[in-house]
Every structure is written in C-alpha cells, then in structure tokens.
Amino acid sequence: MVSLELSRRAVLRGTGAFLGAGSSLTSGEGRAASTEKWLDSYMDTRVTVNGEEYRFRHEARITLLDLLREEIGLTGTKKGCNEGACGACTVLLDGQRINGCLTLFASCNGRSITTVEGLASPEGKLHSVQQAFIDHDAFQCGYCTPGQILSAIACIKEGHTGSDVEIAEWMSGNICRCAAYPQIVAAVRQAAKEG
C-alpha cells in the first residue's frame, strides 16, 4: 500500500516534470502539486451499512468497494474488473444499484448502503432473491453471485421484469463468467413473481 502510494506520487512528479519540459513549466508543476495534495488529503464520512452506523476518517481516494472490504471486512462484495465493467461489486446505495468500484466513499456521506451480508433476516431467513438463486441453481463458482443478487433486487424494484428478455437486458451489467445466465433469469423471474 505504502509503496503503491509512493509510486503514484513518483509518476505524478514525473508527469509534472514532463509537462514542465514544454512551454508551461509553471502550470505543469502546479497541476502535479495540486493532485499530489489531493492524494494526501483525508476526509470524514458517516454511513449506514446494513443498518449499522459507521464513521471513518479516510483517504479521499478510497472507493466504496475497498472501504467495505478492507476497513469493515464485508468481503461478500467482490472485486472483479475494478473498472465498472463486470458488476461483481454491485451494492445498493439508498436502494439504488451502483458499482462500488466506481464510487468514491467520500460521496456516500450520510447515505445508506446494503451489501449481500445485510439481506437475510436477523433470524437467518434468506431474502427471496437469495432463495430463488438457490432454487434455480443460479451460480457455479459464486464469484459474481453477490453482485447478481443485489442487482436483481434493484431490477425487480425498478419493474424491469416483464419478460425474460427484459430481465436479461436489465441484468446485463452483471457478468457471469460461468455463464449461469438462464438460471439467473429464472431466479429473477421467480423472485419478481413472489414480490
């Protein structure tokens, strides 16, 4: 972690020097300095995660995904591509599905987050979407499954379950490398029917 920070700063310094080699030496150095200052800054953020309140003083650049996994220990939310392409990191932010890897934690201040760990009842009864995934065998390795389930909950709430084609379209942001797509669609269809 420390070495990563140092290497990013070294790159930024190098970028500033490179920009300075042309005609705008001062503005190049200024840009590098202000970006470096931002990397060094800390912020205070308060969130509710699965009904529990947390406060963090954190690096400004940390993503919601990294904070959930590394600081709170909620590793059910998965890191796949880390660039918004696979949906493995899907969580609900104030009830809406988002990619945790593309969301700065600082932007979540005062908001409510739901991860896969927060879906079952306190007594251990599974959420209807979790149960539907089991009923339809809608996973193989399971890596994409938490993201699929959170996305499915939002998909149903959004009302995008009129047909299998519609479900597949509105679940298309969640990639399954095991190709369990027919079973996933069947699970979403069942959960949508159950309400």
Sites of contact with ligand FES (CB under 6 A): 79-82, 84-89, 99, 101, 139-145, 176-178, 180
* Residue 189 CB partners (closer than 8 Å, separation 6+): 161, 164, 167
Residue with tokens 């930024």: 12
**Are the CB atoms for 172 and 164 separated by under 8 Å?**
no
- Amino acid sitting at position 64: L
CB of 171 to ligand FES, least distance (A): 12
CB of 89 to ligand FES, least distance (A): 3
What span, in angstroms and rounded, lies between the C-alpha atoms of 68 and 53?
A: 13
CB of 186 to ligand FES, least distance (A): 14
Within 10 A of 64 (CB to CB), how many other CB atoms are there?
28
45: part of which helix (H) or strand (E)?
Answer: strand 42-49
Report the Cα 193 to chain-centroid distance in Å.
Answer: 27
CB of 82 to ligand FES, least distance (A): 5
